[in-house]
Structure 1
Amino acid sequence: MNWNIFKKDTTKSKAPKSKTREWVDAIVFAAVASTLIRGLLFSAYAIPSGSMEGTQLAGDYLFVSKISYGPRMAMTPIAFPFTEPVAYGVKTYWGGLQLPYFRLPGLGTVKKQDIVVFNKPEEADLNLPVDERTTLIKRCQATPGDILTIKNAQVYINGVAAANAPKAQTSYTVITNGTDINPQVLHDFNITIMQQSAANTYEMTIPAEHLATLKSYSNIKSITPAIAPAGVYDPAIFPHSDKFKWNLDNFGPIKLPKKGWTVALNDSTLTLYRKAIEVYENNKVTVNGKDILINGKKADSYTFKMDYYWMMGDNRHDSLDSRFWGYVPEDHIVGKAMITWFSTDSTASLFNKVRWGRVMRPIN
């Protein structure tokens, strides 16, 4: 009698997989593995603009660590992977299913001076899901609870001057004797002409390491920092109210909201924090005479549910950042920029397009 009725029959051999089946299995495995890696560990991003010039260049390709701050779970789970939110005019996601914000534990939290990738808060006005908004890269200047002030282009955190990025850039007013500057000098020194206000007067973004050399040229009469004076109101600057006469170079003080922090509500604080309360934390805010109502109830104060950060580009006069659209909520944070793995220069000739000196370069 055969008592081994449950024993695997080793005499039968499996039919070999077809080439098609092997390819399908390999593709499925690669898709699952890449989705897990991209969703939980690292993603690749490209730098499209010059807001971080000096530190990061347009054409840099980055690895961004999601585990540094904890991987953010998808809030819009039904979407085509590895695509932009809109491709050829067609949405690549379905917004009918939205999950609440949730982040897995990470190695740490966002620190001041970290270079961070995040979704653009300003696009909340476009009614886009958080994780389908444009991704940006900036340097974190202030963390939850900090008081940020900018005086004559210098950032202060809690009254102490913040460290400037090693290759931070700003703009200067350049006056010549009427003789044009050699275009090759502008290219070699990575100088950008932002505007020309007179025949011999320019505003230029000049890397710090080339400033002294440019000043020594015989056709340069003067180079002075281009700084907007204190008290001059710029309506493009957050919070877009003449209650606060702030501009790019003279701004604040302003306190960054922190989870659990309770702020007294009045005309001034509502101007500063209304968008966070109403848009990012999903409350209905109305003003009835002198009364402030949140979700239909009179409120004298509000307690924040999330942490908020202040992000600015290292190229200070060519960066749309928190000075324009305010705080970055924690649910917009994607990850920490770690490595420039590749870099190309779109303005260079064919054989000089790759910036080999930037390949596999750590970011700081």
Structure 2
Amino acid sequence: MSASIVTLFLLRFFFIDVYRIPSESMMNKLMTDDYILINKTAYSGYFSRFITASPQQGDIFVFTINKDIPGFFVKRCIGLPGAVVAVKNGEVSVNGKLMSEPRSVRHYYKIWFNDYQQVKTAIEEMRIDRFKNGFRHFPHYIVLALDNFQKNKMNHGVDSIRIWNRKNDPDSAKINLPELSENILDMSSLKIPFKGMTIYFSQPQDTVYSNAIRMYEDSSFRLGSKAAFIAGKQVVAYTFKKDYFFMMGDNRDIAIDSRHYGFIPGDHLIGKFIQQF
């Protein structure tokens, strides 16, 4: 085996790797079937002896969830261990401050217009595929998926624009976007567990904590209304053994992410996104 092949093999095994984007959850940053290069050393729990940096808010990672949800996932890190994350009408806040989102973050918007022709021209100039972006046209407004860059370009002929929330819009039935049937645009404040964080069971806990404990730390853990049990023995508190992260897709209204399957432990991070090709 030549030295160059050995070098390539070692690079692939220890330092970098290539992954294919499996879904639309990272549109418009990464598209389905795009190939991306990841760094497996600086951040990966799989290669802890090589770790040279800590994950940062905004980093994009490849990670695994658990054996019941097989495969690899690609999402953006929204919350670090110990941070408090909340979502209100699609807008994310971290530690009480509205998060500054990348321009690739995408939402479905309800756009009221005073001049439809100007709006139509903007859509055409940005080469937005109306079919792929859920376009709906009504007498006084349209519904359309836009990323932040596109939204900021939609500034002519528009009266107002806001994220479309099917749960509180009386027009939801006629707008009818079935791809958003499981979207979560509102989530109460949630503190992300960190190694050494203790929770108490004097009151019912959000199931997201119990799921993380049972899934990643102790499979014997069970949670009752005011008590918890490990290996059948009652405990009044639990101290987390790992750091966790909150992951979200840039295609916010469609992505299945930590809002659905919960926190991701650091040792399930495989690598950080470097570039697409």
TM category (shorter chain) comes to: 0.7 to 0.9
Larger relative contact order (CA 8 Å, sep ≥ 6): 2
Aligned-pair identity in percent equals 27
- Per-residue deviation at 1:60? 3.0
Checking the alignment, whether the CA contact within 8 Å between 2:44 and 2:267 is kept in structure 1 is no
Distance 1:261 1:190, change over 3 A: same
- Per-residue deviation at 1:291? 3.6
The Cα offsets for residues 207-263 of structure 1, whole Å up to 9 and x where unpaired, read as 33434665646xx88754213668xxxxxxxxxxxxxxxx72221210101111111
1:138 matched to 2:75:
yes
1:300 aligns with 236
Distance 1:186 1:250, change over 3 A: farther
1:334 aligns with 270
Distance 1:110 1:209, change over 3 A: closer
Q: Deviating runs (4+, > 6 A) in structure 1?
A: 175-179, 197-201
Distance, in Å, in 2 between the alignment partners of 1:337 and 1:197 is 37
Pairs within 5 Å for 1:256-295: 256-266=192-202, 268-269=204-205, 271-287=207-223, 290-295=226-231
Give TM-score scaled by structure 2 length: 0.78
- Per-residue deviation at 1:320? 1.3
Match of 1:185 among 121, 124, 133: 124
2:96 aligns with 159
Distance 1:287 1:273, change over 3 A: closer
- Per-residue deviation at 1:69? 1.1
Distance, in Å, in 2 between the alignment partners of 1:214 and 1:290 is 51
1:45 matched to 2:31:
no
Checking the alignment, whether the CA contact within 8 Å between 2:204 and 2:226 is kept in structure 1 is no
Segments of structure 1 that go 5 or more residues without pairing to the other structure are 1-24, 74-102, 127-132, 231-246, 343-364
Checking the alignment, whether the CA contact within 8 Å between 2:126 and 2:150 is kept in structure 1 is no
Task: Choose 1 or 2 for highest CA Rg.
Answer: 1
1:115 matched to 2:54:
no
Distance 1:273 1:197, change over 3 A: farther
2:51 aligns with 106
Pairs within 5 Å for 1:215-294: 216=156, 223-227=161-165, 248-266=184-202, 268-269=204-205, 271-287=207-223, 290-294=226-230
Distance, in Å, in 2 between the alignment partners of 1:197 and 1:266 is 51
Q: Which amino acid aligns with 1:185?
A: E
2:31 aligns with 57
The Cα offsets for residues 119-174 of structure 1, whole Å up to 9 and x where unpaired, read as 1x2x4335xxxxxx321211111111111112232211111222211332211124
Q: Which amino acid aligns with 1:110?
A: P
Q: How many residues align?
A: 259
User: What do you get for the CA RMSD once the two structures are aligned?
Assistant: 3.4
Checking the alignment, whether the CA contact within 8 Å between 1:71 and 1:105 is kept in structure 2 is no
1:194 aligns with 134
Checking the alignment, whether the CA contact within 8 Å between 1:116 and 1:335 is kept in structure 2 is yes
Distance 1:36 1:71, change over 3 A: farther
